[in-house]
Amino acid sequence: MSPSNSPTASSLRGRWLLLARAAWIAVAVATMGTFVAAVPARYAQLAHPTEAARTALAKIGLSAGAYAFYNVGLDTLFISVCATIGILIFWLRSDDAMALLVATMLVVWGALNDLVVITPRAIGGMYPTLGMTLVATLTYVGYMAWMLFFYLFPSGRFIPRWTRWLALLWVLFSGTWLFTSFGPLTWPPLLFNVTLVILWGSFVVAQVYRYMRVSDAVQRQQTKWVVFGVAVAVAGFLTTIFTVGVVDSLPPEEVSRKMLSLLLMDAFMLSIPISIGIAILRSRLFDIDVVINRTLVYGALTTILVLVYFGGVATTQAIFRTLTGQAEQPQLAIVVSTLVIATLFNPLRWRIQSFIDRRFYRRKYDARKTLEAFSATLRDETDLKALNDDLLGVVRETMQPAHVSMWLRPDRASQRQQAY
């Protein structure tokens, strides 16, 4: 889908447009309604923690009510951001089927964890049949929206064509999972895992094929934005798991770690809807390569400097312990490590920048080096013919056109002077 306002293959008009808008509004209202209905039950559940959790909360000066409010507040904030981006896309681009699909995905996905885990317990007690059917239907819509997003984004077409058959398989797979008693969970583990790997793997294959073979420059920028957001979310999610821990796996007394883990995971996961919103709504995307480049450079630089800092502190303490016999020299070790980091910052940054340019941006790196060499030649070259050949060579190497030639406009003043 092109981010411009010009008509595309996925544009909607007439009855189809009205029907699509009405369906989106119905899904959005139902999703937000079920979430709001589940908030009191969620708060009541969290406000009555175990005795171990209550003791841990007292140690950090929090009440059970404050802990419940914190968790419900984070859930509400996450869902509100996703819903706001979805509503904004609907408001500005509801005449485009691909934009409507993305808006549906964001609204439902923001509340999907709540719909699957929390809402059934809250709604099921009040409206056993209607509530469970509504939750299952919205969950199914969320799964379908995610699947179609990977198969259709950004152009709105199934590319490659065989993805439409996998889309049909995903419809049946998720439908039997949610609405029948003989769904995938009753299959043999090997069959279930193989089917899941094929379906999820096809998402990546479809996007890579589309990017390499079909997408134009604008569509590639859109894809890069989405991939960047997913990469940030995955990297942050894994970092949180290995440093803080997963909320469900932490013991009840580790309340502060649970709160930090929940905050970090929500913060990192928000990079996905934000990047998708940018890819859909920006009519002129700024160069994502610059953002990726800076992220790689400063992410690697921060990691190395952190390792140098803690390694420097430990090494300095060991050296002074050996020389002086004293147990610790914490202040001196910190000062020495800080001075080392200040000295290494710029040289290390330039080395990382050069490595990333050569490794990931080889073509741009070579073009920049070629232009720098040509600018040095330009200062010293006096032969016009040699300069012409050098210029044509630089254009061929950096821009790689199908054909290149140069025409020099005659100097009219010189012609008139010669004629006179």
| 389 lies in the same domain as 248 | no
pLDDT at 391: 59
**253 in the same domain as 376:** no
CA separation for the pair 81, 86 (Å, rounded): 9
> b/e for 216-228, b at 16 or more Cβ within 10 A?
eebbbbbbbbbbb
On the question of pLDDT at 383 being above 60, the answer is no
Check whether residue 312 and residue 376 sit in a common domain.
no
Residues 227, 275: Cα–Cα separation, whole Å: 8
Q: Six-digit token pair at 154? A: 């950004």
Assess whether 180 and 281 both reside in one domain.
Answer: yes
Nearest to 223 by CA among 215, 214, 231, 233: 215
Residues 240 and 110 in one domain: yes
Q: Are residues 304 and 406 in the same domain?
A: no
Task: Compute the CA torsion angle 54, 60, 66, 72 (nearest 10 deg).
Answer: -90
pLDDT the model gives residue 125: 52
- Note the pLDDT tens digit of each residue in 258-282: 888 888 988 999 999 998 888 888 6
| Dihedral sign, Cα of residue 44, residue 49, residue 51, residue 54 | negative
Nearest to 356 by CA among 286, 300, 291, 288: 300
Asked whether the predicted pLDDT for residue 4 surpasses 50, the reply is no
Looking at 240, 259, 285, the residue that finishes a domain is 285
Helix axes 64-93, 271-281, angle to 10 degrees: 10
Token pair 């984004």 is found at 153
From CA 167, how far away is CA 210, in angstroms rounded?
A: 16
Q: Which residues contact 165 (CB under 8 A, 6 or more apart)?
A: none
- Domain assignment present for 350: no
132 phi/psi in degrees, rounded to 5: -65, -40
Find the range with the poorest average confidence among 52-61, 279-288, 303-312, 344-353.
Answer: 279-288
163's tokens: 């993805």
**Tokens standing for residue 230:** 């997913």
pTM for this one? 0.69
- Residue 273 falls inside a structural domain: yes
Confidence band of 6 (pLDDT split at 50, 70, 90) = very low
Cβ atoms of residues 131 and 38 within 8 Å: no
Residues 267 and 310 in one domain: no
Q: Are 393 and 386 in contact (CB under 8 A)?
A: no
Q: What is the pLDDT of residue 96?
A: 85
Residue 109: pLDDT band by 50, 70, 90 thresholds?
Answer: confident
Look at residue 405 and tell me if it is in a domain. yes
One domain for residues 214 and 319: no
- What count of other Cβ atoms lies within 10 Å of the Cβ of residue 101? 23
Structural domain span for residue 21 = 14-285
Q: What is the dihedral of CA 258, 264, 267, 273, to 10 degrees?
A: -90
Q: What is the pLDDT of residue 361?
A: 56
Give 3-state DSSP helix, strand, coil % of the chain, rounded to 5. 80, 0, 20
Q: Which residues contact 320 (CB under 8 A, 6 or more apart)?
A: 326, 329, 332, 333
Instruction: Give percent of the chain with pLDDT exceeding 70.
Output: 67
**Could you tell me if 130 and 163 are in contact, meaning their C-beta atoms sit under 8 angstroms apart?**
no
Residue 95, token pair as written in the block: 């005449």
Q: In the structure, what pLDDT confidence band is assigned to residue 3 with cuts at 50, 70 and 90? A: very low
Tokens of 344: 């290494």
Same domain for 263 and 381?
no
Is 349 inside any structural domain? no
Do 93 and 18 share a structural domain?
A: yes
Look at residue 5 in the predicted model and tell me its pLDDT: 44
Domain count, the chain: 3
Considering the domain architecture, whether residues 258 and 200 belong to the same structural domain is answered as yes
The whole-number pLDDT of residue 372 equals 60
What would the two tokens of residue 215 be?
Answer: 């997408």
Q: Give the confidence band of 58 by pLDDT, cuts at 50, 70, 90.
A: confident
**Span 276-325, pLDDT tens digits:** 888 888 655 455 556 666 666 667 777 777 777 777 667 776 766 666 66
Instruction: Choose the final residue of a domain: 285, 310, 332.
Output: 285
Q: Residue 253 carries which side chain, given as an amino acid letter?
A: E
Compute the mean pLDDT over every residue in the chain, rounded to the nearest whole number: 76
SS3 label, residue 327? coil
pLDDT at 331: 67
Residue 315 CA to residue 310 CA, distance in Å, equals: 8
Q: Is residue 162 part of a domain?
A: yes
Cβ atoms within 10 Å, residue 21: 15
Indicate whether 310 belongs to any domain: yes
% of the chain with per-residue pLDDT over 90? 4
How confident is the model at residue 176, as a pLDDT? Answer: 87
pLDDT in tens, 162-218: 899 999 988 888 888 888 878 787 888 888 888 888 888 898 899 989 988 888 878
Structure token digits, residue 322: 């050996």
Q: What are phi and psi of 21, to 5 degrees?
A: -65, -40
